[in-house]
Chain A
Amino acid sequence: MGDKRPRSFYILAAFFAAYVLFLYGPMIAIYILSFQGPDGGLTFPMNGVSLTWFGKVFSGGGIVDIGAAFKRSLALGLVVMVITVVLSVAAGMAFRKPFRGASILFYTAIASLIMPSIITSLGIALEFRLIDDFINKHGADVGLGWLADGYTTAMGLFTSGLGAHLTWTLPFGLLIMFAIFNRFDGRLEEAARDLGATPWQTFRHVVLPIILPSVVGIGLFGFTLSWDELARSSQAIGSVNTLPLELQGLTTTVTKPDIYALGTLTSAVSFVVIFAALSVILMLQARQRRQGSDAGKGMV
């Protein structure tokens, strides 16, 4: 510290600032434009300031039923979040012991992460279409007659859609778990074991409190990745749409700022979730610092 910054620092700092401007500039533009007056268009200059377009979104006037899509995305995001957290923590624990299939699971997760989304999406769509075909053709033969009557499709938000989102969120969850356990001190568990704790007690009272901040992080990833997910949902979600899908549909038809208002609203949800999660993480970390050591507190 204190020594003179090289010239490259200032050049790169300017470059970084330009990058941040490039990242945020356009987004800020639409956040501002979503407050256009009633006669305003898709571009600057602003024609008055109003909440007209937010009203349009909520009343559903003109465009699709945003409220329903909003609720669907929210429900799906929450379910994805819970499943991602539970499965990632469980699998993360498993990877600390050698087990057969560990590397298969690991490479599958990586493959799922980098697979072009359209291929995953297409595969899931095919899978459910084949299930539908099977039930329609052979449903009665194999005792699924009750299902075959009036049956349309097995595809849906919480079947194919949920699966599609999990192929995207679980690899992130697993990688975060690796990062956590890479710096986890295993001696803490041994100490618990030596003191007679059962495996479950060890997990509940030693491991979980330590990893909790990062687990909240996994939940954050799970929700926001699902909330904003589009490519994998596109073919695999069935007849209903999530919010990003509605938004994408609107890009080709809408010429009014209500699409910006919708954009601002979904971003707002993302930001609320991010900041809620970050404050929970900070709170947990502060708590850990407070309770992490019982030095000086004497015998209890």
Chain B
Amino acid sequence: MAVTIDNSPDTVAPAESTFRKLTQRSIAWLQAGPMMLVFALFFLLPLVLVVVVSAWDYNEYEMIPAFSFRGYTDTFEGCVANLPELCTILKTYLKTLKLCLLTWGLTLMIGFWVAYFLAFHVRSKTWQIVLSLLCTIPFWTSNVIRMIAWIPLLGRNGLVNQGLQGVGIVNKPIEWLLFSEFSVVLALVHLFTFFMVVPIFNSMIRIDKRLIEAAYDAGASGWQTLVNIVIPLSKPGIVIGSIFVITIVMGDFVTVGVMGGQQIASAGKIIESRLSALQFPAAAANAVILLGITIIIISALTRIVDVRKEL
């Protein structure tokens, strides 16, 4: 990460300089230790427990520390027997993937052009800061508030329906505007495009402007410059943004719950409902499945670029 320049004077004996290195190292340990401890206690250990408990037995009111795959078999119940009819869990995952894909596509499209505008068309630094802040501020407001904000617009008597009826496009309110897959995706895009804009903007701002001038001088059209220079060089940002959006949407249960009117199933919602039934091992088994799928998607994405270099 960082390079320490050791310019200790020549008079320092080798033993002393080794000692200094040792203290330096232990200071680094002391400095990083508390954060490591927090992650160990509240992130790594819980993850291990999720995996372990997913293989425990359970009954109606408690988990039993005995090896059992009931959590998994219950989850996949009826998956083989009812073929080719899809079982609940597979249907739910397909639906989650569909929501995920739609949200990803839309956030990428919007995020890319917003970042492009900010990075290449806004020329003054001050305006760049002002406009990026403008995009950032809503991110600091509770997600639930930003979700319920759609109710007065999309509801049965909401502004959109009133407007459409007012100009006579429809003669009765459109029902699927709220508490539907449409509203879920809309809310997800509303909430999380920010996570796409920031990393893409970060990649774009690092592109050497002379490359683009060179492309113009060599006779490339705006479109050719975009496809051959800007997009390849913003790829790291696109991948990082995609990882954010995809992991959020795959695990989401709040947005799907609130905007779907508690009617739409998703991977996250399965876990939540298992938990509210106090079926911890079953919830853990579902979490392990979700984790596996998320890891597969992320590792596929990180194959495309070396994200490590970008951070």
Please list the residues of chain A having a beta carbon within 8 angstroms of any beta carbon in chain B.
Answer: 1, 5-6, 8-9, 12-13, 15-16, 19-20, 22-27, 29-30, 33, 41-44, 86-88, 90-91, 93-102, 105-106, 108-112, 114-120, 122-127, 129-130, 163-164, 166-167, 170, 174-175, 178, 181, 186, 190, 199, 224, 227-228, 230-231, 234-235, 243-244, 247-248, 251-252, 259-260, 263, 266-267, 270-271, 274
- Interface range on chain B: under 10, 10 to 19, 20 to 34, or 35 or more? 35 or more
CB distance from A263 to the nearest CB of B (A): 4
Return the contact of B31 from the options A43, A93, A251 (Cβ within 8 A). Answer: A93
Which residue of the partner chain, among A181, A235, A263, contacts B2 with CB atoms under 8 Å?
A181
Q: For the complex, what is the distance from the CA of A31 to the CA of B244, rounded to whole Å?
A: 29
Give the residue name and chain of the A residue nearest to B288 (CB): A119
Interface contact A30-B134, CB-CB below 8 Å: no
Alpha-carbon distance A115/B155, docked complex (angstroms)? 33
Whether the pair B311, A178 counts as a contact (CB closer than 8 A) is yes
What separation, in Å, do the CA atoms of A298 and B268 have in the docked complex? Answer: 65
Could you tell me the distance in whole angstroms from the C-beta of B289 to the nearest C-beta in chain A? Answer: 11
Q: Which residue of the partner chain A has the closest CB to B63?
A: A129
Top 3 nearest A-B pairs (CB, nearest first) are: A116-B251, A123-B46, A163-B42
Partner of B117, one of A15, A24, A101: A15
Within 8 A of A (CB), among B1-23: 1-2, 4-5, 7
Bits for B37-52, please: 1 = Cβ < 8 Å to A, else 0: 0110111111101100
Known interface pairs A9-B121, A167-B42, A230-B142; A87-B34 also in contact (CB < 8 Å): yes
Q: Is B113 close to A, CB under 8 A?
A: yes
Shortest beta-carbon distance, A245 to chain B, in Å? 9
B193 proximity list for chain A (CB < 8 A)? 19
Given A114-B243, A170-B35, A251:B275 Cβ within 8 A: no
Beyond A22-B190, A23-B138, A230-B144, 10 additional contacts (C-beta under 8 Å) are: A12-B117, A87-B34, A101-B36, A116-B291, A117-B248, A118-B287, A123-B43, A174-B35, A228-B141, A274-B140
- A selection of 6 A-B contacts at a CB cut-off of 8 Å is A12-B116, A33-B152, A86-B34, A116-B250, A119-B287, A122-B287
* Residue of B whose beta carbon sits closest to that of A162: B42
| Also in contact, A234 and B272, with CB within 8 A (given A163-B42, A167-B39, A178-B311) | yes
Residue from the list B134, B145, B158, B311 in contact with A27, Cβ < 8 A: B145
Kindly list chain A residues whose C-beta atoms are within 8 Å of the C-beta of B157: 41, 43
Q: How far is the CA of A108 from the CA of B146 in the complex (A)?
A: 30
